[in-house]
Each structure stands twice: as C-alpha cells, then as structure tokens.
Amino acid sequence: MQIKAAVVTGTNQLSIETIDLAPPQPTEVLIKLQAAGVCHSDLHTFRGELSVAPPLVLGHEGAGVVEAVGNAVTKLKPGDHVLVNWLPACEQCVHCLNGHYNLCERYGSTIYAGCLLDGTSRLHTQAGVPLKHYLGAATMAEYAVIDQASAIPIPADVPFEVAAIIGCAVATGVGAVVKTAQVAVGSSAAVIGCGGVGLSMLQGCRLAGCHPIIAIDVFDQKLDFARKMGATHTINARQQDVYETLRAITGIGPDAVFDSVGATGTISQALQGARPGGTAVIVGLHAANLEVPLPIASLIYDNKRLLGCFAGSIRPKVDLPILVELYRAGRLDLDPLISQRYALDQLPQAFADMEAGTVARGVITF
C-alpha cells in the first residue's frame, strides 16, 4: 500500500513523501497511526547525531488502531487500540532473564539497525529503495507495520495522543525516577531540562513522593510547564546560580538530580548539584557521541552515585500498561504534556518549536 511518511534521505534532509508499505508478515501487525510523538531522538537522528543512518522513516512514539494481523498473531485483532513499544525484548537473553529488558541483546541487530525483528524492512520508496524503520517503529507515517511484540493493547478510553507519548517520553521520565534511581519517599529531587522527558520526570518525582521537586531550565516557558507538572521550585539557569539556589532550597543539595538533557555541561551540573552521598541520573543523549569530562573529586570525595538510564530501565510489557493505568486513575497528569499538535507536513515546525522551548511535548495527529 502507499502511505505518506516523514523520510530522512540524508543528514539534515527531510521530506514528507508517498512511499510503499508491504503487508505484515506472520507475526506482524498493520497499524493505522492516530498519533506520533515528536522526540529529541528523532531530531538527533535527522541531524546525524545518533548511530542510525538514513534512509529511514522517522518516529518511535506512536499509537493507533490495528487494521490487519499476520496469520501467527494470536493476541491482537483488527480494531484493537495499541501503543507502539519500540523495545520489544526477546525475554530469553541474559539481560532479559536478569530483568533488564531495556538492554536486550537482539536490539543491536534489529531495532538499532532500523529493522523489524526478522532483520528486514517493509518500507520502500516508490523507486524501490529500501527504507529503515526508525527504532523498529517508523511512526511518523499514516500506517506502520510492527511485530506483535511491539504493540501494547490499551483501553479504548485512553486518548491516542497520550498513549503515544507514554511509549517513550513518559516511560523514560517516570522510569528514571522510580526504576533507575528508586528514590525514597520524601527525597528531594531536581530535574535538569523540562522537555517531554524532563516534565515526565517531574511527574515521576511527584508519584514517588519527593519533596521539594526542583525544575531547572533556561526557558521561562518551560519552567511554567514544570510548575504545572509538579515542580515546587524552579531555577532559570541563565539568570540564577544553579548550585547556590539548589543549596538554598534543600540545605545541602538534592538527594537526586535527573539530567534529561545529557549535554557536556548538564552532566557535570547534575553530578555536582547532588548532595554528598546523593545520586545523579543521566538520561539525555545530547552528548551521546562525545567524551565528557567529569568532576572526579565531587564523585569520589562526596561518595556520590552516577547512574546512566536508558529508556527508564523499564520492562515494556509490564510497565507500559502500568503507566496507562496510572494515567486512567489520575495519578499521572499527562494531558497537559501535549501542548501542541501538528499535521505530518508540519514536522519541521514541530522540531523548530521543540528547540525554541515553546512546547512541552508536540504530537503529530493523523
């Protein structure tokens, strides 16, 4: 079938074009996308800052309706509402058996290579050139073919826009707090960067019972979003001394500092900002291809912990449905996260707004 999709043909080369999508294989499903989140990872990939090389179809946050299923699919049927899980773990490798599904050994040859789980693609240009499925998902398109393991059923009363962002931004942000850091009730916490992931971290801190919850950014509008999402205090890093303000609020520094940016400066800021004996959790990928110097004295003399966090350390099949139910119960306030909606051909504007700090989370709607 022919579909409209966001295609990256080379570094900084993006077009919205009509391409060909092949039918699902036996263990795969065809999804009619209703919403796709706009994530910094998509922007990094478009700019050639991550390892997945074009040509490819962007998008890994998504939700929609099952239109067709392969003959070996047993738990999904046409008409089911699903969110896209871009981390379909094998559940058999040593990492999966130890509960680290976000580190599954098969991702390297499939998801990170832009393939489906059989190592192939269902996407081609109209000239017959194969296209990769970004992170095995390719959700910035009218339709997607994904493996059944990548489709998580959701109740019909969950908005597709919310379900889409649960698959990455919310899972990563909340997971960083409750899964990676495992913060204790009453812990003080700070979050650096108030985009979709950072705002989800604030939600995770509120869910975990943290106090105070401090948001740090350089855009006042993002700090306004942060106050709505659970921050008790805010710091504009361009106007205030971050370390002095953190100590003024907490006395000795936060118990945990979460870095949703992952830039050279913010990684050091997270580690130095945490109290002695505290924890810095690095989630963002801005410095993914760089060597980052660290303040070793702060790490060792102050007995701090520096943790990496990939995809919120989640177990997708278990934790994504839990996050959906927490939203339905009103424990996660996710509707305000979606501050702007775009048509697919407005993707360049969505990227520009994200960089300008004028959106919390942008979502493409179909």
Query: Which CATH number characterizes residue 203's domain?
Result: 3.40.50.720
Residue 366 CA to its chain's centroid (Å): 20
Neighbours of 294 (CB within 10 A): 13
CATH of the domain at 81: 3.90.180.10
If asked whether residues 232 and 323 sit together in one domain, one would say no
**Do 294 and 233 sit in the same domain of this protein?**
yes
Per-residue model confidence (pLDDT) at position 287: 66
Q: Which residues are catalytically annotated?
A: 39, 41, 44, 60, 168
Does the structure show a pLDDT above 80 at 26? yes
Q: In the Cβ-directed half-sphere of 321, how many Cα atoms lie within 13 Å?
A: 9
Number of domains in the chain: 2
Question: Are the C-beta atoms of residues 34 and 160 closer than 8 Å to each other?
Answer: yes
Q: Tell me: pLDDT of 119 over 80.
A: yes
- In this predicted structure, the answer to whether residue 180 has a pLDDT above a threshold of 70 is yes
pTM score, whole prediction = 0.93
What value does the mean pLDDT take over residues 44-51? 83
**Sequence-distant (≥ 6) Cβ neighbours of residue 360 within 8 angstroms:** 194, 195, 196, 199, 222, 225, 229, 336, 337, 338, 339
Q: Are 347 and 243 within one domain?
A: no
Largest Cα–Cα separation, the chain: 63
* Domain boundaries, position 298: 173-310
Q: How many CA atoms lie within 13 A of 126 on its CB side?
A: 8
**Domain identity same for 278 and 320:** no
pLDDT band of 126, cuts 50, 70, 90? very high
pLDDT tens, position by position, 56-96:
999 999 999 999 999 999 999 999 999 999 999 999 999 99
Checking phi first, is residue 134 left (phi over 0); if not, alpha (psi -120 to 50) or beta?
beta
Q: Supply the DSSP symbol for 34.
A: E
- 36 with 138, same domain? yes
Same domain, 198 and 276: yes
289 pLDDT above the threshold of 80? no
Residues 6 or more apart in contact with residue 100 via CB below 8 angstroms? 313
